[in-house]
Amino acid sequence: MSVTRSEVEKQIERREALLDKVREILVEALHVQLAKEDIDPDVSLFGTGLGLDSVDAVELLVGLETHLGVKLPDQSLARMYMRTVNTLVEMVIDHGKPITTDAGASHG
């Protein structure tokens, strides 16, 4: 089965939209002291990366569920995904509701 260029472009657009939303949650809900566009997708969430702690991790999961519909079937999966911003995007792709990237989409 071949994937068309259009399908690849749609997947890239979706991933970029999700990355933007995850960064937004980190800045607005967790008060990460960076501009969202300055958050490296490969930065560690904890330790010397963004410096999040266990309380932040809970707030982050709540934010992802609230804003992106992430429902983990098993909470032990959270540990696997909560390493970098990119792995959070993977969690949303794997367990979140679809996000539209259409310019005229409603936000409600």
Q: What is the pLDDT of residues 34-62, one digit of tens each?
A: 999 999 999 999 999 999 999 999 999 99
Distance CA 47, CA 37 (A): 20
The answer to whether position 105 is within a domain reads no
Is residue 103 a part of any domain in this protein?
no
If one counts every other C-beta atom within 10 angstroms of the C-beta of residue 25, the result is 21
pLDDT at 107 over 50: no
In a domain, 74, yes or no: yes
Share of the chain above pLDDT 90, in %: 69
Domains: count for the chain: 1
Q: What angle in degrees, to the nearest 10, is found between the helix axes of 54-68 and 85-95?
A: 40
What's the pLDDT band for 1 if we cut at 50, 70, 90?
low
Does 42 map to a domain? yes
pLDDT band of residue 78 (cuts 50, 70, 90) is confident
Closest CA to 13 of 97, 99, 86: 99
Comparing 96 with 28, the larger pLDDT belongs to: 28
Q: What residues contact 21, with CB distance under 8 A and at least 6 apart?
A: 67, 68, 92, 99
What is the predicted pLDDT for the residue at 24? 96
CATH code where residue 51 lies: 1.10.1200.10
| Residue 71 within any structural domain of the chain | yes
Q: Report whether pLDDT(100) > 90.
A: no
Q: What residues make up the domain containing 63?
A: 5-95
Computed over every residue of the chain, the mean pLDDT equals: 87
Residue at 79 is within a domain:
yes
